[in-house]
Chain A
Amino acid sequence: MNGVTLFGIASALLVGLGLYGLVLSAGPLRRILAFNVLGSGIFLLFGVVARRGAAGGVGGDPVPHAIIITGLVVAFAASALAVQLMLRLSEVRAADRAGANNPDNEKPGAGDQQP
Chain B
Amino acid sequence: MMPGSMAELLFDSILVLTLLAVALSILALRQAFAAVLAFVTYGLLLAIAWVRLGSVDVALTEAAIGAGVTGVLLIAAASRLRRSIPIADKASPGIPMRIAVGALCATISAALVAAVLHLPTPAPGQALAAVANLPSTGLGNPVTGVLLAYRAIDTLLEAVVLVLVLLGDWSMAPDGQWGGRPGPRLAPEVNGPLGLLVSVLPPVGILIGIHIFWIGADMPGGAFQGGTILGAMWILTWMAGRTAPPHTSSERLRLVLVVGPALFLVAGFAGIVFAEAFLAYPEGWAKPLIIGIEAALTVSIAAALAMLVAGWPSREAPR
Question: A residues touching B (Cβ–Cβ < 8 Å)?
Answer: 2-21, 23-30, 32-34, 36-37, 40, 43-45, 47-63, 65-70, 72-74, 76-81, 83-91, 93-94, 97, 108-112
- A25: chain B residues at CB < 8 Å are 27
Give the Cβ gap from B303 to chain A, nearest Cβ, in Å.
Answer: 13
From known contacts A67-B151, A70-B155, A84-B172, infer whether A62 and B146 are also in contact, taking CB-CB under 8 Å.
yes
Evaluate contact between A74 and B49: CB separation under 8 angstroms: no
Partner of A55, one of B84, B87, B125: B125
> B105 in the interface, Cβ–Cβ < 8 Å?
yes
Surface stretch bound by A, among B196-204, B264-272, B278-286, B308-316: B308-316
Within 41-71 of B, Cβ neighbours of A (below 8 Å) are at 42, 46, 49-50, 52-58, 61-62, 65-66, 69-70
Evaluate contact between A65 and B81: CB separation under 8 angstroms: no
- B74: chain A residues at CB < 8 Å are 29, 32-33, 79, 83
Interface size range of chain B in the complex: 35 or more
Evaluate contact between A52 and B12: CB separation under 8 angstroms: no
Evaluate contact between A45 and B8: CB separation under 8 angstroms: no
Evaluate contact between A20 and B102: CB separation under 8 angstroms: yes
Give Cα A87–Cα B183 distance, bound, in whole angstroms: 12
- A17: chain B residues at CB < 8 Å are 20, 23-24, 27, 105, 109
- The residue among A18, A25, A36, A76 with the most chain B CB atoms within 10 A of its own CB is A76
Partner of A30, one of B23, B35, B53, B61: B35
> B39 in the interface, Cβ–Cβ < 8 Å?
yes
Evaluate contact between B90 and A44: CB separation under 8 angstroms: no
Please name 6 further chain A to chain B contacts, defined as beta carbons within 8 Å, in addition to the given A56-B127, A73-B301, sorted by A numbering.
A11-B116, A13-B113, A19-B104, A60-B54, A62-B130, A85-B172
Question: Chain B 104-125 against A: per-residue CB contact (8 Å), 1 yes, 0 no?
Answer: 1110111011011101000111
Smallest Cβ-Cβ distance to B60: which chain A residue: A69
Q: What are 18 contact pairs spanning A and B, CB under 8 A?
A: A3-B12, A5-B117, A17-B23, A23-B105, A33-B35, A36-B70, A43-B58, A56-B130, A58-B131, A59-B56, A61-B125, A61-B127, A61-B130, A69-B224, A70-B158, A84-B308, A89-B87, A90-B87
Evaluate contact between A29 and B151: CB separation under 8 angstroms: no
Smallest Cβ-Cβ distance to A68: which chain B residue: B58
> B32 in the interface, Cβ–Cβ < 8 Å?
yes
Surface stretch bound by A, among B174-182, B205-213, B233-241, B250-258: B174-182
Partner of B46, one of A44, A45, A57, A73: A44
Evaluate contact between B147 and A70: CB separation under 8 angstroms: yes
- B191: chain A residues at CB < 8 Å are none
Evaluate contact between B49 and A63: CB separation under 8 angstroms: no
Evaluate contact between B87 and A86: CB separation under 8 angstroms: yes
Give the Cβ gap from B91 to chain A, nearest Cβ, in Å.
Answer: 8
Give Cα A76–Cα B23 distance, bound, in whole angstroms: 18
Give the Cβ gap from A59 to chain B, nearest Cβ, in Å.
Answer: 3
Give Cα A59–Cα B53 distance, bound, in whole angstroms: 8
Give the Cβ gap from A7 to chain B, nearest Cβ, in Å.
Answer: 6
Partner of A97, one of B65, B85, B312: B85
Give Cα A45–Cα B86 distance, bound, in whole angstroms: 35
Evaluate contact between A9 and B161: CB separation under 8 angstroms: no
Evaluate contact between B58 and A6: CB separation under 8 angstroms: no
Give the Cβ gap from B249 to chain A, nearest Cβ, in Å.
Answer: 16
> B13 in the interface, Cβ–Cβ < 8 Å?
yes
Evaluate contact between B53 and A4: CB separation under 8 angstroms: yes
- B293: chain A residues at CB < 8 Å are none
Evaluate contact between B55 and A81: CB separation under 8 angstroms: no
Within 285-318 of B, Cβ neighbours of A (below 8 Å) are at 301, 305, 308-309, 311-312
- A5: chain B residues at CB < 8 Å are 116-117
